[in-house]
Structure 1
Amino acid sequence: MPIVMRLDRMLAQRKITSKELAARVGVSEVTVSCIKRGRIQGIRFAQLEAFCQVLRCKPGDLIDYVEP
């Protein structure tokens, strides 16, 4: 799939664990793990907004398009 999630990269840059992000956003650790691994079909804008608020980033920092 040409759209990839870069959540793992942003977590490392911000020095925040998946567990901490899940607690601050209000989602399960399993949800964060699935998003990190790219095993999702979609993401709610509310979740994306919450991730961006906690990580102080833009949606484009978390989602990338890679040429097939």
Structure 2
Amino acid sequence: MTIVINLDVIMAKRKIRLKTLAQAMNMTEANLSILKNGKAKAVRFSTLDKLCEQLDCQPADILEFQKNDDN
């Protein structure tokens, strides 16, 4: 089971750059980049809340569950 972060997809659809989003969220570009690139181990609800507010989306637009076919 894997959680996939689709932040880059949503950002592309909204035509917003990492720097612009980071500034709007009062967050460093480095921390937002870690999340965008799927390297984050956890996401705070407050961060997810800000992302959804800035990108006008739902949490499910950003986070996606994918089952592994390893049986």
Q: TM-score range by the shorter chain?
A: over 0.9
State percent identity of aligned pairs. Answer: 35
The runs of 5 or more residues in structure 1 that have no matched partner are: none
State the partner residue of 1:57: 57
Shift of 1:22: 0.3
Which runs of structure 1 show a deviation greater than 2 angstroms over 4 or more consecutive aligned residues?
Answer: none
- The count of corresponding residues between Structure 1 and Structure 2 is 68
Partner SS for 1:4: strand
Q: Deviations over 1:8-66 (max 9, x none)?
A: 00000000001000000111001111001110110110110000000000000000011
Instruction: Give me the whole-angstrom Cα distance separating, in 1, the residues matched to 2:59 and 2:26.
Output: 18
State the partner residue of 2:15: 15
Task: Provide TM-score, normalisation by structure 1.
Answer: 0.96
State the partner residue of 2:67: 67
- For 2:48, the aligned partner's letter is L
Query: Larger Cα Rg: Structure 1 or Structure 2?
Result: 2
- For 1:9, the aligned partner's letter is V
The runs of 5 or more residues in structure 2 that have no matched partner are: none
Is 1:41 equivalent to 2:38 in the alignment?
no
